[in-house]
Structure 1
Amino acid sequence: MYLLDQVKKQQGDTQINRVYLIKDQKVVFVNEEFSKWNKVRVNVSGFTLTAGHVQSEYQLLNDLSDDEFEFRQKTLIEHGCTTVMLFVKIQYEAQIEKKLLAVIEKLKSSTIDYVLGLEIPLRLLRPSVLILCKKLTIPFLHVICDEQSDIEQIPWMYIAQASLSYRVVLMPSFKHESFKEKQNQKWHWQKYTKKYAIANEEYIREGQRWERRALQKVGLYPQKGELLVGSDLDYNLYTADESQLVEGSHKLDYDKRKPSAVILRGKSLKIDHHHFLIAGFGQHIRIKMPGRLLSVGN
């Protein structure tokens, strides 16, 4: 065990003082100070700390060469991403298990952690697919609603019943070219998901970070995306460069900033301009119970 000491943690627009007691690369204690601790301390004064970023990703699923795969991982790590949420594209229910097994095999050489979700057309939104999601621990579905999609024809009551024991989060995208029809699709989607208390969330595009509420819905919080008791020791360290703070606040401008250090489960993946890829270190995180920290209907 050791103490991560003298931490300036970014919390919204402010910075707060924190110490973190670490055991087996997980946070076991958090406080403003721990003066009685008389064992190993790791001092990170002079840096600002954030939790490792969790973001949506597609490119790692492409048919990449080993060099391209490494380059993409370095790019993600360069910007502080320690966990990716992957959307495996599916056209037919029968191909789901085979495609997922192929992706898991491909990602055995991953350095960063990952969670598997699916991207499906609306016609595949059916109870049997949700039951399969429970079996395969798939906590989120990106649902594509195009010009041919009829949201009213979806068996919403049976979707709700199939979701009772494993609340898969639905993330819709509305692709209709007509703005009026797109708004009509959104209205019907909200109507039925609210009526049947089905978990849903706005689609989070590639490269965008998942915030607390979305992570809670899929069941990844607080393991990822925060540093609380029980969290993995994933964090980024930023140097105190005032030129890269948002004007008028202490909030880091993440569009401009690149962390000086990126840590995943206690391992350094980046220090200054040096990257340390560890093939096979990345874990496939299987979500056993999405939404376990949320009340039904959220």
Structure 2
Amino acid sequence: MTYIIENAHILKDKELTINSLLIQEDKVSANLTHSKQYQFIKMNLEPYIMTPSFVLLNSNISPKITHHELKQLFKEQFLMKGSTTLFTHVPVSYESELEYKVKGMKTALISSPIDYIIGIKISLRHLTPSLIRKCKKEKIPAIFVEIGEHDDFMGIPWGWIREAMFPYNCPLIPIISSSKKKEAKALLSNWKQIILQEKIPAIDEEISENTPISKKVLNKIGLYPQKSSLMNGTELSYNLYFKEREINNVDEADLFHYHGDRLVITVHKGKIVRVLNEVLFKPGFGEYVTVRTPSFFSL
């Protein structure tokens, strides 16, 4: 079906732009300056603020999670908050574990109503060029590296790591060990210095859980503009908030954290999945997202 979304007040970087979107086969086919000359069915969104749906990191999902627990998690932590993409990771101690652990998580999420992307988590001490090459072969979009001590940085063959990452270049993402949170600032400072000096594709900060991941980070992972975007050619996944004066100058993260009560509709790939306080749960509607080229898009 082809139709036009008219008068969409799209929020981007604290600014509202009024636009019209031509929709074809549940994708944004074009952003239109003028839509009057088109004879398609039109949907007027003037009363709402529109945002792309959110991508959230959640590391508390285990392949052993029950179906009931998973359903509640997707409803309460994702769909009710306007997120239609889960980003998670599996812990890996050795290269030989990688394939079956990722496969186990995929199996656990096969009935997911939202899309999902799976990285791995490994101790920085166990990061090797061989593991990187395995990740590259399996198209693992991100490697979370747990940092526990300043000594963890010692002895890492950074030059070989960089060579092994090329040309896929899935980013390394730091996680400060829970026992070392008081030293997080110093450890992250050391991390930033090394990745800059060694020219390692990486994120320089930890990614906060259960908060919208920024476009900058999504781009490094390779999810933007495939996700969290309303550009031409992207999937039609968005949120509609009741428009109020006090939320005209906020960003997407503020809407997520402080104005969730005004979220009325969430659409995932052209299908409504939440209306007011009702979730239209669609088991298996979600898909595993394969990242073909991290950092492909220039912001």
Q: TM-score, normalised by structure 1?
A: 0.90
| 1:94 pairs with 2:96 | yes
Aligned length: 291
Give secondary structure in 1 for the equivalent of 2:230.
coil
Q: Could you say if the C-alpha distance between residues 203 and 182 of structure 1 is closer, same or farther in structure 2, counting changes exceeding 3 Å? A: closer
Residue 286 (structure 2) aligns with = 282
Give secondary structure in 1 for the equivalent of 2:30.
strand
Q: Could you say if the C-alpha distance between residues 260 and 182 of structure 1 is closer, same or farther in structure 2, counting changes exceeding 3 Å? A: closer
Measured against aligned partners, the alpha-carbon deviations of 1:72-102 in whole angstroms (never above 9, x if no partner) come to 1101110101111112122222111111111
Structure 2: gaps of 5 or more residues: none
Residue 256 (structure 1) aligns with = 258
Measured against aligned partners, the alpha-carbon deviations of 1:229-273 in whole angstroms (never above 9, x if no partner) come to 122111001112446x27xx3656321222201111001110112
Residue 220 (structure 1) aligns with = 223
Deviation at 1:11, TM superposition (A): 2.1
Deviation at 1:149, TM superposition (A): 4.5
The answer on whether the counterparts of 2:63 and 2:104 sit within 8 Å (CA) in structure 1 is no
Give secondary structure in 2 for the equivalent of 1:94.
helix
Residue 121 (structure 1) aligns with = 123
The answer on whether the counterparts of 1:52 and 1:80 sit within 8 Å (CA) in structure 2 is yes
Give secondary structure in 2 for the equivalent of 1:96.
helix
Measured against aligned partners, the alpha-carbon deviations of 1:105-163 in whole angstroms (never above 9, x if no partner) come to 11110000111111111122111111111121111111111137421311100001011
Counterpart AA for 1:272: L
Give secondary structure in 1 for the equivalent of 2:109.
helix
CA distance in 1, matches of 2:157, 2:64: 35
Residue 80 (structure 1) aligns with = 82
Aligned mate of 1:293, from 274, 293, 297: 297
Residue 206 (structure 2) aligns with = 203
- Equivalent residues in 2 for 1:63-212 (5 A)? 63-75=64-76, 76-147=78-149, 149-175=151-177, 177=180, 184-201=186-203, 202-212=205-215
Q: Give the ranges of 4+ consecutive aligned residues of structure 1 lying more than 6 Å apart after TM superposition.
A: none
CA distance in 2, matches of 1:184, 1:254: 30
CA distance in 1, matches of 2:74, 2:181: 37
Give secondary structure in 2 for the equivalent of 1:253.
helix
Residue 230 (structure 1) aligns with = 233
The answer on whether the counterparts of 2:64 and 2:108 sit within 8 Å (CA) in structure 1 is no
CA distance in 1, matches of 2:107, 2:151: 33
Q: Could you say if the C-alpha distance between residues 6 and 109 of structure 1 is closer, same or farther in structure 2, counting changes exceeding 3 Å? A: same
CA distance in 2, matches of 1:85, 1:29: 28
Measured against aligned partners, the alpha-carbon deviations of 1:162-182 in whole angstroms (never above 9, x if no partner) come to 111110111112336495x65
CA distance in 1, matches of 2:126, 2:32: 47
| 1:45 pairs with 2:40 | no
Worse-matched range after superposition: 41-50 or 160-169: 41-50
Residue 22 (structure 1) aligns with = 23
The answer on whether the counterparts of 2:10 and 2:16 sit within 8 Å (CA) in structure 1 is yes
The answer on whether the counterparts of 1:27 and 1:227 sit within 8 Å (CA) in structure 2 is yes
Worse-matched range after superposition: 59-68 or 111-120: 59-68
Give secondary structure in 1 for the equivalent of 2:258.
coil
Counterpart AA for 1:60: I
Structure 1: gaps of 5 or more residues: none
CA distance in 1, matches of 2:3, 2:194: 50
Identity %: 25
Q: Could you say if the C-alpha distance between residues 14 and 188 of structure 1 is closer, same or farther in structure 2, counting changes exceeding 3 Å? A: closer
Over aligned residues, Cα RMSD in angstroms?
A: 2.1
Q: TM-score, normalised by structure 2?
A: 0.90
Residue 7 (structure 1) aligns with = 8
Counterpart AA for 1:265: K
